[in-house]
Amino acid sequence: MRIVVVNNFFPPRVGGSAHMAASMAERYAARGNEVLTITAEYRNSPAREERDGYRIARLPAGKMPQLGLSIDFDITFASARPGNWRELFRLLDEFQPDLIHMHGQFFDLTWMAGLWARRRKVPVVVTVHTLLISARKFYSNVFRMLDAVLVRPMMRMVKPRYVILDKLGVDYCVKRYGTTDENSVCIPIAVDTEHFDQIPTRDVRAERGVGTAPLIVSLGHVIPLRNRMPLVNAMPAILEKHPDTRVIVVGRVYHDEFMKRAAELGITDRFIITGAVPKDDVPSYFQAADIVAHDLNGGCGTASLEAMLSGTATIASAELDNYPGIELRNWDNALFVRPGDSAEVARTVIALLDDPAKRAQIGKRQSSMVRDNFDLDVVVDEHLRMFEKQVAENLLRKG
């Protein structure tokens, strides 16, 4: 097959969907498919590149305006740059894909490629990574409006097959986009297990001056959906029992409410903010941690699954049936708390710090669970079977 992978986010930009898109593109190519990835330019990355058996085309892009919101959006858009529509259509016409796999339902490259596919009658798959939701009423209303006014009408026009990563995403897509069993499929997040088989290369505790203190690592960009507020609000109770506890927040801070709350509580010195780190450094941070806590506002995403894979006890806030067909058992192969419940976060962290043997046992079971169910090769094979079926059905429709 000739497969086009589309994502505004792509390495060297860091992030779950960026790494997932790159890993899957590499595996598609390794299976003998011809693969072209189209993304937005990022820093000094080359406009055209070939690596890992596939091609990459980066289109000129501009940064999203802040619009007066207290969120630092690091999102780049290509649709408004002169010549990009023509260049995108030229790339696709030249490549003649059998199918387009788009990551992210609300990026402009998704919409641009989707419109090309509609005109050329090429099947489209869109993976829904991020849900436009927030615990704060203002942002929740803004995101709901964006979904209703922009995303849903565009998806109706493109008519993709949706790949939804978990139960939370299924419920969201039914309500926001009107998905059905006929136009959607639930396939879990792909985790690159080989990457986490590597021996960590950095001594994070020494570099960050943590020493032997209890350490919580919270890895992933700070956005309204993952705002770290449950962790910050849990810290006074945690520090009362384990006063030396430190927290390393790894990722870009797009939403700084948690830092303001830490200052109000007088615990700013307990937090170390690193910003984004290279993908190759991530295993070192997980290895250094006693506990990982990232998805505490609802959900269990790529960063949490990667942390589980590393063998470090990892707290998230999904339901036990979050991944259809995968059995999760709390305090056995999962550590789930109620979304936004800082008191439960505090109790869970304290219990884990109190019992290192139990913590290690749960970490080991979490690792086995992720390896058995989320391995990249397993997930890629499932995607390719779906792609082959869609391409065959499309050929039949064309006659």
Asked if 156 and 223 sit in the same domain, the reply is no
**Based on the structure, what is the number of domains in the chain?**
2
Asked if 176 and 84 sit in the same domain, the reply is yes
Domain CATH code at residue 324: 3.40.50.2000
Asked if 173 and 217 sit in the same domain, the reply is no
Asked if 278 and 319 sit in the same domain, the reply is yes
What average pLDDT score do residues 345-374 get? 97
Asked if 389 and 277 sit in the same domain, the reply is no
Asked if 110 and 199 sit in the same domain, the reply is no
The SS3 assignment for 313 reads strand
pLDDT single digits (tens) 312-355: 999 999 999 999 889 999 999 999 999 999 999 999 999 999 99
Q: What is the largest CA-CA distance in the chain?
A: 70
Q: What is the pLDDT of residue 69?
A: 47
Among residues 188, 191, 139, 143, the alpha carbon closest in space to that of 167 is found at 188
Asked if 248 and 349 sit in the same domain, the reply is yes
pLDDT interval class at 70 (50, 70, 90) = very low
Among residues 376, 390, 391, the alpha carbon closest in space to that of 26 is found at 376
Residue 118 structural domain: 2-190+376-398
pLDDT single digits (tens) 104-141: 999 999 999 999 999 999 999 999 998 888 777 887 89
Q: What is the pLDDT of residue 133?
A: 82
Please tell me the distance from the alpha carbon of residue 109 to that of residue 103, in angstroms, as a whole number. Answer: 10
Sign of CA dihedral 251, 257, 263, 264: negative
Asked if 259 and 330 sit in the same domain, the reply is yes
Asked if 86 and 170 sit in the same domain, the reply is yes
Asked if 16 and 109 sit in the same domain, the reply is yes
Listed range (263-272, 322-331, 380-389) with the worst mean pLDDT: 322-331
Asked if 146 and 286 sit in the same domain, the reply is no
Asked if 167 and 200 sit in the same domain, the reply is no
Q: CA angle 204-208-211, nearest 5°? A: 80
